[in-house]
Structure 1
């Protein structure tokens, strides 16, 4: 069984950044990646300093080549099993292969759980978005419908109102809109339609056209704003005995400032531990986790040498 000082599970921005930090410190590193990045549906990544508007898949391709240049090994596949501990060592099984490691980085990302509205999956990542910083400039001055789904929706309406005067709030989930939220929307001059959305409709060219409401009306739209339920992909963490932290927007793996989880030897980075992390923030958390692991390994090596002296 091949042994690595660190195995990184997940090859997105966070996982690759962790691997590069470790590779540059001459650590043996394996990255196991399923090849299903969260932002795959998007054509462009924004707020990426020096690479503004880059295609997300191109960014990851560059990151993989950088990691490989520092001796990092990368394999494609899903991790079937993760067992062990810091004391006994970790064992990872993926696509019929088994590997051992002294440290683990979980950069497994999150899943956007969307409401079951026909057509929404088709628009997601393109004309249906959740983040004003990620996609707001691209829909400036357009007709934007904010789907009222939960506690984040009013905040989204406020954020997008900075980018377009044409905002309408569709109160899809009435129980989520309290008096304070209504007062905010009124102060912003954003009209509220008290109807649920039955379907997202597209024109003959395949572009977003409108939403169909429960009363049969169609409301035209060029862009939708949707608050997904964001849940960390954390089955491997749970299998080790870890527990997830709750957030109004979903669930995540709680870490300290250096990316360490409650399980010794296990680190988490990117959206698995920070639901709101954009590309650069995710990468930064990976770099921090990689540096922390290297420092930890150095400390263990020094202690061993001193014990033998």
Structure 2
């Protein structure tokens, strides 16, 4: 199948871009593996008019809106991406599709230690803007980054900095951080700055350039989502690790507008 735009990644950025492009009457395919970064969280916050909504509900409604305007969504995994004469070929698990333009909205992965994974997105989290209010005025522990303690104190005065953790226990449904095998610090929630790994392997394979950020190298885009590779765009956490859900959605919409203009220019 041939499409004008293939969007790889169906989170807030990808679906927002797809909505904009389908309403502009572009043929769009969204390829998504249904593993959003915020899947462990029961609620998302700071999204105007959607505060407290399940992130999975946001995606469910977003998919329905895109499909309502004729967009296609493939629950599939991308196996490879190559440049063709007039666009790009995207290899899926059982077929190859082509697109005149590509938008990567593949997000990133929080590299969470095994000892924290079962509580991640619940009472162990990275972003106090996303989860801090729910644990306001309670006992919090901050792992690793001491500079984050001052930020977390906006939500609670009872904050303990913990340089490292050997284990996590649960007593009466309350977390206990175990340090150096003996010291134990009970807390209502733990703030942990996970290492961030962008899902950018296909972007890099196409030759997209990166820029150094405080969180490591991320694919560089201009303010319209264009990468250094003509015809290839990126939006959301794959290029901006600090983007919360509403920001990623806005980036997707803005990038979609640029893609549409790009296609108009190419056809004239």
Q: TM-score, with normalisation over the residues of structure 1?
A: 0.84
Give the distance between the partners of 2:267 and 2:129, measured in 1 at CA.
43
- Output the CA distance in 1 between the equivalents of 2:67 and 2:148: 39
Written as runs of structure 1 = structure 2, the 5 A alignment for 1:87-236 is 87-114=85-112, 116=113, 118-148=114-144, 153-172=145-164, 197-203=165-171, 207-236=173-202
How many residues in Structure 1 have an aligned counterpart in Structure 2? 268
How many Å apart are 1:156 and its aligned residue?
2.1
Report Cα offsets for 1:225-275 as digits up to 9, x if no partner.
011111210011112122333222233211000000000000000100100
RMSD between aligned residues: 1.3
Higher helix share: 1
**1:48·1:279 contact (CA, 8 Å) conserved in 2?**
yes
Conserved 8 A contact 1:123-1:208? no
SS at match of 1:202: strand
- Residue 273 of structure 1 is matched in structure 2 by 239
Q: Tell me, what secondary structure is at the counterpart of 1:27?
A: coil
The separation in 1 between residues aligned to 2:45 and 2:89, in whole angstroms, is: 36
- CA–CA distance in 2 between the matches of 1:95 and 1:278? 30
- Conservation of the 8 A alpha-carbon contact between 2:166 and 2:181: no
TM-score by length of 2: 0.97
The answer for unaligned runs of 5 or more in structure 1 is: 173-196, 303-309
- Say if 2:235 and 2:251, in contact at 8 Å, map to a contact too: yes
Q: CA deviation at 1:160?
A: 1.1
Q: Deviations over 1:27-63 (max 9, x none)?
A: 0000000000000000000001111100000010010
Matches of 1:10 and 1:72, distance apart in 2: 14
Superposed counterparts of 1:247-286, under 5 Å: 247-286=213-252
Q: Extract unaligned runs of 5+ from structure 2.
A: none
Q: Distance in 1 between matches of 2:5 and 2:212?
A: 28
Please tell me whether Structure 1 or Structure 2 has the larger radius of gyration of its CA atoms: 1
* Local SS of the residue matching 2:138: coil
SS in 1 for 2:96: strand
- 2-structure distance, mates of 1:47, 1:203: 31
Q: Could you say which residue in structure 2 is the equivalent of 1:65? A: 64
Instruction: Name the SS for the 1:41 alignment partner.
Output: coil
Query: Per-residue deviation at 1:215?
Result: 4.6
